[in-house]
Structure 1
Amino acid sequence: MSILTNDPSTWGARNAHDPTVVRGDDGLWYMFSTDAAAGASGGIPVGAHIRTSPDLVTWTFHGTALGEVPEPARDWSGAQGLWAPEVVRWPTTDGSTRWHMYYSASTFGSRTSAIGLATAGTPAGPWADRGIVVATRHDRDAHNAIDAAVTFDRDGRPWMIYGSFFGGIHIVELSAETGVRLRDEPGALIARRPASVDGAIEGAYVQYRAEEDRFVLFVSYDSLVDTYSVRVGVADEITGPYRDAAGNDLTSPAPEHAVAVGTKVLGGHRFPGGTGLIAPGHNSIFTDGDATFMVHHVRLADAPTQHEAQIRRVHWTRSGWPLVSPHPFAGIGTERLTAPEQVSGEWDAVRFAPEVPALVDAQRVTLVSDAVSDGDPITMRLVVETGGIETGGIELDAVVFGAWDPVAQRSVLAFSGIDPHGVVWSGSKAVTT
């Protein structure tokens, strides 16, 4: 395990928290993240940190957007740094290129927060602050103005999703011209959790899926320190209601739903011989052609104070549910197998049971299918035989695809699927020597 230094040029994807990824007109990928390690010796500045990559695999520290907390947001919140920058290419009518960055200014445990807006002509900047978009006061407001994410509805109108433990997740329409709120209101509540779990929800992102003509909400549950997990719900309208695979409404405050609500697509896990990963969360979604990707941060089980950004492929079931690769993305060429393989056989798989917040070790299971795959994604019904959970096997609404096994250092078949109880399974074919 390498030791992190105060020299950002050595970080790669380490020290990236609350990441989002966009592609610039120069062909480079840009990752923006919370200014983790800001203020440490070595002169690491506050502001949204920027990394660049030609391939989504190798990341180089590029600098810091907004090298300080802009004055209006600092005066309002008392923030010493910026959190969770959301960067989006903004549609214009005059043919110009404009990028918007929505940043959060707050302090831990406080609802005195602000989401500000900065603009630039390229993701590399320079970025100019445009002021506060939404602000909340701890002694006045039940909701919290942090963790902005922007999406566009089926008619191309922009919306901002935001919120946290305090008051849940809200969505509010933005002006297509200016990028600020159309109306001075919190917006619609689309997800929340009960007081019995401290309302532990944040880091939301919504994507419109034209294929199913519906909206997909990704949101993080529990503690960013050790028990984060990514949950999913879908809705016919951008303002909800969002429901999980079992039909539960993500705004349900009932204590009995504190753990079970939200289809858990990614949580802490470990594959044989691999590094244990804990608290994956605060994800964003981006696309490259027909490919869908998730970027999120995660902590290392053997060094939990260290965190890094990881990118994973997202695949979609026939019924339109997003499923996440069990292994981080290692490049397009790594997903193609050297020769076609039978899907049937022994696999190492994790079961992302929503009631289990801790790291889950992979178990050996048998998958039953007549299919053969060379790594290209295949949607199918799979039967998983575990020898213990359910006699006769468990049928999954699944996708089989290629991935790079970081332990075996080779391309392998991988899968992810949802069982009849709404629980996600994910794994890769066991490598025999």
Structure 2
Amino acid sequence: MTLLEPAAGPDTSTWGGRHAHDPTAVRDDDGTYWLFSTDAFSEGPVRAGVQIRRSTDLVTWEFHGWALPGVPADGAAWTGAEGLWAPEVVRVGDEWRMYWSASTFGSRTSAIGLAVAPHPSGPWEDRGLVVTSRHDADGPNAIDANVVVDGDRHWMVYGSFFGGIHVLELDPATGGALDSPGPGRPAWGPGWLVARRPRSVEGAIEGAFVLPRPGGGWALVVSYDSLFSTYHVRVGVSDAVTGPYVDRAGRDLRDLDSDPAVVGTTVLAGHRFTGGRTWLAPGHASVLTDGDHQLLVHHVRDGDDPTRHEVQVRRLVWTDDGWPLVSPQPWAGLVEPSDPSAWPSDVTELLGTWEVVTFDPAGAGGVTESHVVRADRAALAEVRALGEGLFVGTWPTDGGPGVPLHAVVFPSWDAVRDRAALSFAATDDSGRTAFGTRTA
């Protein structure tokens, strides 16, 4: 059983998906979804131990308690942390492993530790530290773990600001670092550097997640910029877990010489569709593979109440050439269209009026307003269908001349109009991306 909330403190029964920060989701054998997140509450202190929620549809969440009784002793002694951040939960055989992070804001004296359980609901048993870092030493900040399984090799992707994102090899049998001097003792070295940003933007990169690409290779999903306002999600791809990762324009995600605003391909940033909520600072994303679809699980803020964060889930799709993109619409749960035959396979199925958001790589932070695009036969004359949902060609995304795009078109649920509708996500070779929903 997970731990119940203390007698004193906020009423978590009313939270639902609110106050879920740095979320990751898993599904148990019975079909229940479990969400793990940072010990955060926008209105004041909250007890430590990793928040847990559960859901049957990934839309309505019930607060379930905390995984641990507080910050494990080794993590508290190393960092002085009063709460745990950015948990990562994976299943290895019959064992569930949770990698928690301990640190304090603005410090690189941090630790990632491991706890194990027979089920996502617990009970969770602490197994000690996996990797640590110190503020006065060069290298990564030991928080924000993500575990990647590549055949019989396991890897941890981690890091936040400071020294960038690194990859460290794990021992599949124990879940600890492969170069650890002993069980529960941290690794000697930081591993491979795979992404970083220059000091001119405070090295603002964190919350990495690596997943396999269709057809081979890997995609790195990572968050850029300010947690409170300009946070957004970018991607790069690589042939190996350990990199190098490059963006759509071929720029290395370790590049410190190019304009830091353009390195990395933006797939999700602050935006607003006409009549809908203003979604601000989406980020720290994980990916849930659930049957035949994949879902991006991230936190986001409401532009009308930006101090509060909440969990949001969106469909993740892949272009014909293996780039991950994100739905413009939040996942709708049981009403989400699920018929595989509903994915369009003919250009004529795209005719209509679309509301589109286009993300400029140089200005992805903040909020991008939508605009209307009318896709008539002339506008779609150079678009080709490659299969169910996959299209390439010159696509009118901004009301002006079309640009060559790789697009994915799929059924969705329009959150503004509360009805089923077609949506798309697309990218061009320069790294500009767009997504939108057909309105008429």
Q: Which residue of 2 aligns with 1:143?
A: 140
Secondary structure, aligned partner of 1:196: helix
Which residue does the alignment assign to 1:16?
A: 20
After superposition, residues 232-251 of structure 1 pair within 5 angstroms as: 232-251=235-254
2:215 aligns with one of 203, 212, 215:
212
Is 1:278–2:280 an aligned residue pair?
yes
Distance in 1 (alpha carbons) for counterparts of 2:116 and 2:338:
39
Distance 1:336 1:98, change over 3 A: closer
| 2:172 corresponds to which of 168, 171, 176 | 176
Q: What is the alpha-carbon root mean square deviation over aligned residues? A: 2.2
Find the residue that maps to 2:178 and give its secondary structure.
coil
Matches within 5 A, 1:299-378: 299-335=301-337, 342-356=349-363, 357-367=365-375, 368-369=379-380, 378=389
Q: Which position in structure 1 is the counterpart of 2:404?
A: 395
How many equivalent residue pairs?
412
1:28 to 17, 32, 48: 32
Q: TM-score, with normalisation over the residues of structure 1? A: 0.91
Residue in 1 aligned with 2:420? 411
Alignment match of 1:224 (pick from 202, 205, 227):
227
Q: Does 1:430 align with 2:439?
A: yes
Q: What TM-score results when the alignment is normalised by the length of structure 2?
A: 0.89
Q: Does 1:189 align with 2:193?
A: yes
Q: Which residue, 356, 369, 391 being the options, matches 1:380?
A: 391
- Residues 58/377 of structure 1: CA separation in 2 closer, same or farther (3 Å cut): farther
Question: Aligned to 2:362, what secondary structure does the other structure show?
Answer: coil
State the shift of 1:385 in Å: 2.6
Determine if contact 2:19/2:42 at 8 Å carries over to the other structure. no
Name the CA shift for 1:128/1:200 in 2 (closer, same or farther; >3 Å). same
Structure 2 residue 115 is the aligned partner of structure 1 residue 107: no
**2:358–2:397 Cα contact (<8 Å) kept:** no
Q: Deviations over 1:128-177 (max 9, x none)?
A: 11111111111124321010110112x23110000011100000000011
Offset, 1:346: 1.6
Q: For residues 32 and 387 of structure 1, do their structure 2 counterparts lie closer, same or farther at Cα, with a shift above 3 Å needed? A: closer
Aligned equivalents of 1:417 and 1:8: distance in 2?
39
For 2:397 and 2:261, the matched residues in 1 are separated by 24
Cα deviation for residue 352 of structure 1 reads 1.3
Q: Alignment partner of 1:99: what SS?
A: strand
**Cα gap change, 1:379/1:141 in structure 2, threshold over 3 Å: closer, same or farther?**
same
Task: Write the mapping of 1:257-296 to structure 2, written as runs, cut at 5 A.
Answer: 257-296=259-298
* TM-superposed deviation, 1:344: 1.6
2:380, 2:395 within 8 Å by CA — same for their partners in 1?
no
Distance 1:381 1:83 in 2: 41
Q: Is the 8 A contact 1:16 1:309 kept in 2?
A: yes
* Correspondence list, 1:88-107, <5 A: 88-91=90-93, 97-107=94-104
**Residue number in structure 2 paired with 1:94:** none
Supply the AA of the counterpart residue of 2:31: G
Instruction: State the Cα distance separating 1:387 from its structure 2 match.
Output: 6.7
Q: Does 1:162 align with 2:158?
A: yes
Instruction: Tell whether the 8 Å contact from 2:42 to 2:307 is kept in structure 1 after alignment.
Output: no
3-state DSSP of counterpart to 1:56: coil
- 1:81 is aligned with what amino acid? G
Identity %: 53
Inter-partner Cα distance in structure 1 for 2:319 and 2:200? 33
Distance in 2 between the 1:366 and 1:116 partners? 52
CA offset at residue 257 of structure 1?
Answer: 2.8
User: In the TM superposition, what is the alpha-carbon distance from 1:382 to its structure 2 partner?
Assistant: 4.9
CA distances 1:356-394 after superposition (whole Å, capped 9, x unpaired): 11200001113344899xxx96111254335765x3x22
Asked if the contact 1:38–1:45 (Cα under 8 Å) also holds between the matched residues in 2, the reply is no
Structure 1 contact 77–105 (Cα < 8 Å) conserved: yes
**1:61-120 CA distance string (max 9 Å, x none):** 1110112001110011000000000000013xxxxx101000000001101000010000
Segments of 5+ residues of structure 1 without an aligned counterpart are 92-96
Cα distance in 1 for partners of 2:355, 2:398 equals 14
Look up the equivalent residue of 1:7 and give its one-letter code: D
User: Which amino acid in structure 1 is aligned with residue 391 of structure 2?
Assistant: M
Distance 2:41 2:154 in 1: 32
| Aligned mates of 2:398, 2:249 — CA distance in 1 | 25
Displacement of 1:405 after TM fit?
Answer: 1.0
Which segments of 5 or more consecutive residues in structure 2 lack a partner in the other structure? 1-8, 180-187
Aligned equivalents of 1:13 and 1:382: distance in 2?
Answer: 39
Q: Structure 1 residue runs of 4+, over 6 Å off?
A: 337-341
Q: Do the aligned partners of residues 321 and 303 (structure 1) sit closer, same or farther apart at CA in structure 2, a change above 3 Å counting?
A: same
Q: Give 3-state SS (helix, strand or coil) of 2:361's partner.
A: coil
Query: In the alignment, what sits opposite 1:297?
Result: 299
Q: CA deviation at 1:38?
A: 8.8
